[in-house]
Structure 1
Amino acid sequence: MRRRRPWCSVALWGYEMKSRETLRPGNGVTAAPGTLVGRRDALDAFAATVGATREHGFRLLTVAGEPGAGKTRLLAELATIAREHGLTPLWGRAAEFEQLMPFSALVDALDDHLEARCDELAGRLDPAQARRLATVFPALAAKAPHPEPDAGPGDRSGMVRYRLYRALRQLIDELAAPGGLALILDDVHWADDGSAEFLDHLVRHPPRGPVLVTLAYRPAQVTPRVAALAHIAGGYGNQVTVGPLDLAEVEAFLGPGVNRARARALYEASGGNPFYLEALARMSRLEVDDLPATVRAALRVELGDLSPASLLVAQAAAVTADEFEPALAAVAAQVEPAAALDALNELVARDIVRAAAGGRFRFRHPLVRQAVYESAAAGWRLAAHGRLAARLAELGAPATVRARHYERAGSFGDRRAAATLVEAARAVAPQAPVTAAHWLRKALDLMPDEPATLEERLELLMELSRAQGVSGRLVEGRDTARELLRLLPPGDHARRARAARICALMERQLDRPHEARALLLDELRRMPDPRAAEAVPLRMRLVAESMMRVDFRAAQAVLDLMPDSADDWEPGIAMAVAALRPMPAYAAGRVAEALRSADAADRLVGVALDDHLAEWLDAVAWLCWAETYLGRCSAALRHFDRAEAVARATGQTYILTNLLAGRARTLVVLGRLPEALETAEESVEGARLLNSGQQLVFALTQLCLAAALSGDSGAAVSAGEEAVRAGVGGGEVWGTMARQALGVALAAAGRPEEATERLLEACGEAGAATPRMDHGTLLASYELLGGAAAAQGRPAEAEAWADRVAALADPLLPAFAGLVPLARAHALRGGDPGAAAALAEEAAGLLAAAERRLDAGRALLAAGLAHGEAGDRRTARERLRAAAELFRECGARALAGQAVREQRRLGVRVAPGHGGPAAGPGTGAHGLTPREEEIAALVAAGLTNGQIADRLFLSVRTVETHLSHVFAKLGVSSRVAAATKLHRPG
């Protein structure tokens, strides 16, 4: 008999739902039980999809049909087909009454299999991955490494889910080895939000091995996110619709023992729905004319044939769980365990329930459980849930298990139920914030509205608002914040200001800037002294709102009314005010003031405690972006890294995604493209989880830039087009920046006309009164437009763009000074290549000194081309070799390829994968960069790409990119060959 785990060893949600490796067709009244009738089209589609999985890898199959259409029976056939093709089928089901339990269908599908392979997987999963997965799967909880926080004091942000989803994807890849995996999930219309988010992540980042993911659902009940998966999957997806049986198929289903008249009557009454047909056919004692009008009535008739004792136990079982243990059903029914087992004998004989693994039982169909549950009196059900909650508490079951019953049995004023719901919410908040929000709301509903509970309710409302915001329920989070404002006393200005600021932040995420501004102004008017310390947070948020609208004059006007510090200010406010000052000064062209303000803010942020940073992260984010725009990239990166860690620890996901986007942009400028891609990808995932259009545009813009410069022009254009297509942020900075990034991506993709059109639009040359982006990006765009004009044989136009670059450049910003001679070099290259070469060399030196490594590489490339055209082939080859090496170190594959092609055109023999004929400075053996050496060593040690990604905090995609470079430089095509060559002496 299978070992049972105690409640205390159960992981995140603690509720065991065990999978089956094979599917058993339902028992029916057919002439040949278990024989599938009809469905040839579906079976052919199944076979084709399984074959495609074996041959090409990941596939998504969706099976849609109305309740009782026979989806589960078809999944049994799919499991058989998958097994015949060498895939391991694992099957799980979501349940209606447990749909808040996090990842229930995945646990149902995988947990038994994981227990059998636990020891094997232990050596293949990184300890951090194992810890994350142990929060989901009971089978892994007992053998998981000792829990350690992911970062610092712990990560409370919604990005914990992103890392968990990556771990789940890696787990699926591991389970797919060596023959492939068919993950079959039934009834996903009842899946929790975490499962839906993970499936979305899995489709967008498919497993590498032969993995078939099949989702069966009711189309009228499925969430839009799950319904959209087939569309998102594109060529990887296939959808099968399960319709009703026709009359001939119904006759075959019923068999020769049913005459044609009765078969037709049953067909008409059931509409060809197999489950309804089976339920009606069971009523053989009735004449056809006496059939009830609905199948619900037919199920009631079926239940009416049970003895009272068996019906009671069936109702108790329906209250207990989708897959239940007899002992708990006995508690709910208030009968002795022996009596419950006697009743189960009758229920199994009548095919109401069926035996499952480990001495548990399950209803033959979710509709049967629903009918049994609804057949019980409402008051009795309430008491049964209460008895189960009490018994589970005695057994030491986690709060997450008890919460499901307390939310149904808890009565108004029941402090024990409320406390359990709060405890359960806090336990699941990092991985399942939707469930956490649901339980927090239930706890609040149980609390009496009285002065004694006010403080506790206010605290829970703040927690609820955060959980709703993190989970992407921004409207609900905003409404909760407004509810909090209504409850706060009119004179509690400090807390009211904090709540109003949070509410305004959420309005901003919802792309409702006018509502955000109105809320802030209204709260300011309520204050007797608008210059008091309590008003500062509201004024600071107004500054941020003005800057987002590119109304820097309004932002400066508010800042001018605020001192740098005051005796009655809380710790951290002076730092936050200082952090806001650089951006409007920079935007207004007061560069010297912006630099002084940045220095002052840098000093205050450096000595500020993390607690103070946490309170004002939105202000600190403006400092980080301003430093990037000012060309102070090292300082910006330092502040981005610290703010990111604080945002994770305090759960401020709506700011974290913005910080990640800014960090990605800074890394692009510094030429650290693999890190930039990783960071931008995480920002995009966070924005999708957050469901914020604004943050998604921010993130996609940076992903577009990083991918374009990395050489993945297809992904870059796709990200840029999605950012522009989002249609949010019209007239604001971030909408314009998305268009500029798309222009860069189109240029990298070899679409110069479209690129020029987008860049002109972003630069305000297509009707806008003034450009709505920072001067540095505008200056860089002018330089790109000049280069494009020169490449297309329009030197006069290139010269005009160079003049604009020179006019816009500021001597106080040396980070951008190198773009001036580079733009001049573009314009002169056709007519005076020697002068162009000299200017490009000057540009390369200035840009390298300013840490703009990619731009320095572009300048070296321009210098090499110009030297070649001027006849100085030796210098041309040197500059091109240096450019190729620099691009390779930065991860700019397309630019490195261009430099290599130009080298070959000049007669240089360049080995595949090398940026030049010899390894450049700073590279190791075989010409590998330090990062490539690190990854190669881990490959040689036997680590998978996923394990390497987790260890080095990179994406799997980034690891794969580095590994392709390693293979090319080593001249090998496999991991084994790479390890052999690295270990070979000399």
Structure 2
Amino acid sequence: MFGRARERALLLELVGRRGSGGALIIEGEAGIGKSALLADAVRAAEAGGARRLTSTGLQGPTRSGYGGLHELLHPLLPHVDALPNRQRVALLTAFGMVDGPSPDRLLVSLAALGLLEEAAARHPLVLAIEDLQWLDRSTVAVISFIALHVSGVPITVLCTVRPGVDADTLPALGLDRLHLAGLSDDDARELVSVLGCDLSDLARRRILQESAGNPLALREFIAAVRQRGPAGSILQTRLPITKRLERTFLDRLGPLPSGSRSLLILIAAANGADFHDVMSAARTLDLTLEDLRPLEENDLVSVDGSDLRFRHPLIRSAAENAASTTEWVDAHLALASAMSGHDSAVWHRAAATIERDETVAGELEAVGRRASERGALPEAAFALERAAMVSRGASQRSRRLVLAAESARSAGLTSEAVELLNRADWAEADSDTRTQAVLSRVILALTAGAPVPRAVEIAAVLASLPGEEHGPRRIKILWVLAVLMRSQHVTVSSWQDLRDKLDREDERNPLRTVALALLAPLGQAAETRGDLPDLVPRLADDPLALVSLAIASESLQDLDTALTCWGLAQEGFHKSGAPADEMQAIRGRAHLLMLRGRVREGLADAEYAERMTDEMHQPLLQSMAAATAARGHSLLGDFAAATAALMRSAELAQDSQMALIVADARWAAGTVALAQHRYRDALIEYTHMTVHPTRSLWAIADRTEAAVRAGRPDDLRKNVEEAAVAAALYRSPFLSALVARSRALLADDDAAESYFAEALALGALSESPLEVARTQLLFGEWLRRQKRRKDACAQLTAALDQFETVGAQAFIERATQELRAAGQVSARPTAPSTAVQQLTPQELQVAQLAAAGLSNREIADRVYLSHRTVSTHLYKVFPKLGISSRGQLRHALGGATSD
């Protein structure tokens, strides 16, 4: 611990906290002292009563997905029954201990956190993670999640990592980091004086100069000088410290007996395998325990029960570099034989494979399939990619690359998925592979902003699927392309070719009907719109199809069917364990709730979706949710929160020009500008919404108000009349009410009143009380200007009542000011916030579910929390609502209860 007083004090403070936790990355080059510092902190934590849990990363691909997590949590698994059921099954399935549906990583992460919280309730925990960069990626993602959620519980997460690791590979690097530099000159001199007291001054100076303060280099260079002298030592080379250390260890392998050297190479190939498996493989190479003794005596390896480890990872690197190709292949073949029947055996056979081998490729594909079944999607993608590389034929290679790409896509590894798809040989792929490739590309374009498939690829796929038997696959491709076209800024004229192709397909297929609805020109809207409600029960078991039906219903102004579809899709995704898709459905529902005037419910949904997509590292989906949340904040008059959400959305979207994000963000920004009397700014924002035709129609009244107040009413007359045509064809009371309000704003005084009356009558049929209130506010303003103060007060009072119910503060203030201007001097003061409005969106969500009778574990399963976190939320909710028991929740929440 020479020279590490500051770093040691920081770590001891972290592990010594009582009642709270924290996480820290200890970063530094090989040999810098990361492990020593970690071990010291763990000893201090254990002395203070903490329990240690460990996991160590090992070089090489042979570790299975979630293998590192299993090592970490294995001591706690006897308590796994304390978890909510879905989380328990997800964790045990990930570990291969039970058969269950392929678990989503978020569920596994929540289960791991919940298991740790259960243990931490008994005594503090310290998680010691060595060489994080070499753990399997599924484990790293879970550890990252855990590390970000331990601030309120006595769990300390300490990880060591080498510098220069890609942050995409290690998202945990976003945590606080302690960078270990080399020892200071004084500390290095002191260490050399202790370890190398018998060396000459010249040798010591050279060691200090070449080691750059690296403690392991100081130790090993001293040993090298003792053995070979300064002239013949590694000090004569000009290599990076890590490489010189490897050379030092390599020099130590030379004097070993040949059997011990061969055993060391076998151990390096084994990559942390069980000691008994290694020795079983050793026997096939005529190696014995006697060959192990020199390795232990020279402090190269250590044996602890069934655990066989190198003293330092650089010794493994040196042994691998010392091996010839024949020695390395023989070692892996011996290990494959010893581990027969396990996935590790397949990896060793693959490592020994020099030429293409279809048998090994098939085994690797099976490994990938098993990893996928356990939810270890990054490892599944890696296995499938390796299978492709050793495949004999181009067709099989392309098929496995596309399968690898789909696993990578599902794991959120967008750039890797695109790269894998680009490597597939399109000309040699079969029709199934081409179909999957196009589907993967379309979904990547929809959810991650990846490039859309080229027209030539789509045409080639469709041409490769002739005949009636391929009809369902052709329809599926055309359907996802229709969803993509509706989501992107694509001109309506470019839809016709797709419609022509759909018209030739089986009209009994519901996906065909949905696709045609998505692409329906205005003239066919009424006919197509009537088919939508009947499709809901036919697609009830397909949540992805329900999402597309929701989008189609929105575009054809059937808001009832759209809201139903978003809700059913959310339930379907939840049951199937697909939280990323579930959040997309919740975000869609959020916007519909806001249109219906249920702004706080919609905002709670949007913020929930944003939080969860952040947890899942889905930036584009998070950007969509943040834009929707901004819309909710703008309606409630919280302009600071709206602006913050808009900034988050823009940062997450980066260069993406997805029409939905642009439209929602511009709508929120326009609403803020309109409320702040920046009318020209509002008009500019609303004008940019035209990239999304549906959103643009919904904002027609807002856009008209901005134009009128900016002194440019003529800019909107044509748009309003176009919206009127659409409203009539769609037979939509909601859109018709917005059009009538717009016409009232544009009309002269003789016609305005009749349009306002029409807007109110239609609004009453639209189930959107907030929009009715906004019409009443504008009508009241107009009546006041006409000197009809009594009538004005009636409209303004009704509007104010609704605004207070919603909690729309900016509209409340505006209605109150108008009432005073109308002469109602005794206008009531702004109503104080209700107790329910004091709850955070997540507290409200938990409270609603508790009021509906769900237990803490059932709530945890529903909203992706640990059950202890649910308890914490309820602990905060009770005093805010002024209650003391769960049974009082329903009454305290009033109309905010959840069905």
TM-score normalised by length of structure 1: 0.72
Contact 1:736 1:762 (8 Å CA) reproduced: no
1:778 maps to which of 686, 693, 696: 696
Cα distance in 1, alignment partners of residues 32 and 844 from structure 2:
58
Q: Report deviation, 1:814.
A: 0.9
1:4-48 deviations in Å (ceiling 9; x for gaps): xxxxxxxxxxxxxxxxxxxxxxxxxxxxxxxx1002332344355
Q: How does 1:891-906 map to 2 (within 5 A)?
A: 906=828
Partners of 1:226 and 1:488 in 2: how far apart? 32
Q: Do the aligned partners of residues 978 and 537 (structure 1) sit closer, same or farther apart at CA in structure 2, a change above 3 Å counting? A: closer
Are positions 1:40 and 2:5 aligned together?
yes
Structure-2 residue corresponding to 1:268: 209
Q: Which residue of 2 aligns with 1:923?
A: none
In structure 2, distance between residues paired with 1:78 and 1:713:
46
Q: Indicate conservation of the 8 Å contact 1:92/1:106, yes or no.
A: yes
Post-superposition offset of 1:162: 2.6
Residue 223 in structure 1 maps to residue 223 in structure 2: no
Give the secondary structure class of the aligned counterpart of 1:285. helix
| Structure-2 separation of matches of 1:326 and 1:931 | 49
Which residue matches 2:325?
A: 378
Equivalent position of 2:81 in the other structure: 122
Aligned to 1:330: 279
Query: 1:3-14 maps to which residues of 2 (within 5 A)?
Result: none
Structure 1 letter corresponding to 2:650: V
Q: Which stretch shifts more, 509-518 or 458-467?
A: 509-518
Q: CA deviation at 1:374?
A: 3.0
Tell me what 1:558 maps to. 497
Q: Partner of 1:64 in structure 2?
A: 27
CA distance in 2, matches of 1:49, 1:386: 46
- Secondary structure of the residue aligned to 2:299 is coil
- The verdict on how the C-alpha distance between 1:208 and 1:709 changes in structure 2, with shifts beyond 3 A counting, is farther
Structure 1 position 935, deviation (Å) = 1.0
The answer to whether residue 372 in structure 2 is matched with residue 436 in structure 1 is no
Partner SS, residue 225 of structure 1: coil
Q: CA, structure 1 residues 895+601, in 2 after alignment: closer, same or farther (shift >3 Å)?
A: same
Give the Cα–Cα distance (whole angstroms) in 2 for the partners of residues 392 and 197 of structure 1: 28
Does residue 343 of structure 2 align to residue 403 of structure 1? no
Alpha-carbon distance, 1:680 to partner:
6.8
Whether the 8 Å contact between 1:805 and 1:823 is mirrored in structure 2 is yes
List aligned pairs for 1:392-791, cutoff 5 A: 392-393=339-340, 397=342, 399=343, 401-410=344-353, 412=355, 417-429=360-372, 431-449=375-393, 460-478=400-418, 480-481=420-421, 486-488=426-428, 496=434, 499-500=437-438, 502-503=440-441, 506=444, 511=449, 516-520=454-458, 546-559=485-498, 561-562=500-501, 564-566=503-505, 569=506, 574-585=509-520, 589-590=522-523, 593-603=524-534, 606-607=537-538, 621-640=547-566, 661-670=587-596, 671=598, 677-678=604-605, 681-682=608-609, 693=620, 697-705=623-631, 717-726=643-652, 733-743=659-669, 753=678, 759-764=682-687, 771-775=690-694, 777-784=695-702
Distance 2:847 2:294 in 1: 66
**Does residue 1:978 correspond to 2:885, yes or no?**
yes
Aligned match of 1:289 in 231, 250, 261?
Answer: 231
Residue 922 of structure 1 aligns with which residue?
Answer: none
Matches within 5 A, 1:931-942: 932=847, 934-936=849-851
Q: Secondary structure at the match of 1:438?
A: helix
Distance (Å, rounded) in 2 between the aligned partners of 1:707 and 1:196 = 35
Whether 1:366 and 2:313 are equivalent positions in the alignment is yes
**Which residue, 55, 60, 79 being the options, matches 1:97?**
60
CA contact (8 A) 1:478 1:507 kept: no
Give the share of equivalent positions with the same residue, in percent: 20
Structure-2 residue corresponding to 1:948: 859
Which residue number corresponds to residue 895 of structure 2? none
C-alpha RMSD of matched pairs (Å): 5.3
Q: How does 1:252-263 map to 2 (within 5 A)?
A: 252-256=190-194, 257-259=197-199, 260-263=201-204
Aligned twin of 2:187: 249
Q: CA separation of 1:634/1:336 partners in 2, compared to 1, >3 Å: closer, same or farther?
A: same
Residue-by-residue CA offset, 1:374-408 (whole Å, 9 max, x unaligned): 33333222222222223222xx54x3x33332321
Paired position in structure 2 for 1:12 = none
The Cα shift of 1:267 comes to: 1.8
- For residues 796 and 968 of structure 1, the distance between their equivalents in structure 2, rounded to whole angstroms, comes to 50
Residue type of the partner of 1:267? L
Map of 2:732 onto structure 1: 813
| 1:103-118 correspondence to structure 2 within 5 Å | 103-112=66-75, 114-115=76-77, 118=78
In structure 2, relative to structure 1, the CA distance for the partners of 1:895 and 1:76 (3 Å cut) is: farther
Amino acid at match of 1:724: A
1:702 to 1:495, Cα distance in 2 relative to 1, 3 A = same
Q: Which letter does structure 1 place at the counterpart of 2:313?
A: P
Q: Deviations over 1:120-158 (max 9, x none)?
A: x533x10111111223458xx4xxxx6554xxxx67xxx
What's the offset of the Cα at 1:819?
Answer: 3.9
The secondary structure found in structure 2 opposite 1:69 is coil
State the distance in 2 between where 1:743 and 1:447 align. 53
Structure 2 length-normalised TM: 0.78
What 5-or-longer segments of structure 1 have no aligned partner?
1-35, 917-927
Cα distance, 1:360–1:637 mapped onto 2, change above 3 Å:
same
Secondary structure in structure 2 of the residue aligned to 1:38: coil
Instruction: Provide the rounded CA distance (Å) in 2 between the counterparts of 1:604 and 1:963.
Output: 40
Q: 2:263 aligns with which of 301, 309, 313?
A: 313
| Distance in structure 1 (CA, Å) of the matches to 2:149 and 2:357 | 45
Per the TM alignment, residue 277 of structure 1 is displaced from its structure 2 partner at its CA by 1.9
Deviation at 1:68, TM superposition (A): 1.4
* Residue 654 of structure 1, CA deviation: 9.6
Q: Name the aligned partner's letter for residue 625 of structure 1.
A: I
- Give the whole-Å Cα distance in 2 for the aligned partners of 1:752 and 1:174: 53
Distance in 2 between residues matched to 1:848 and 1:360, nearest whole Å: 73
Cα offset for 1:805? 6.2
**1:857–1:264: structure 2 CA closer, same or farther, 3 Å change rule?**
farther
AA matched with 2:302? R
Segments of 5+ residues of structure 2 without an aligned counterpart are 238-243, 821-825, 892-899
Cα deviation, residue 624, structure 1: 2.1
1-side partners of 2:776 and 2:18: how far apart? 47
Name the CA shift for 1:678/1:933 in 2 (closer, same or farther; >3 Å).
closer
* CA contact 1:786–1:797 (8 Å) conserved in 2: no
One-letter code aligned to 1:250: A
Question: 1:385 is paired with a residue of what secondary structure?
Answer: helix
Distance of 1:171 and 1:710 partners within structure 2: 39
Aligned partner of residue 60 in structure 2, secondary structure: helix
Pair 1:185–1:852, CA change in 2 (3 A): farther
- Give 1:240 shift: 1.8
Go from structure 1 to structure 2 and tell me whether the alpha carbon gap of 1:795 and 1:681 turns closer, same or farther (over 3 Å shift).
same
| Aligned-partner Cα distance in 2 for 1:406–1:608 | 45
Q: Give how far 1:425 is off.
A: 0.9
AA at the equivalent of 1:217: V
In structure 2, distance between residues paired with 1:660 and 1:979: 26
Distance 1:801 1:636 in 2: 28
Give CA-to-partner distance per residue, 1:479-528, whole Å, 9 cap, x none: 55466563547xx7787566445445546667465763353356679999
The separation in 2 between residues aligned to 1:196 and 1:820, in whole angstroms, is: 53
Distance 2:210 2:640 in 1: 54
Assess, with a 3 A threshold, how the Cα gap between structure 1 residues 528 and 485 changes in structure 2: closer, same or farther: farther
Q: Is the 8 A contact 1:90 1:110 kept in 2?
A: yes
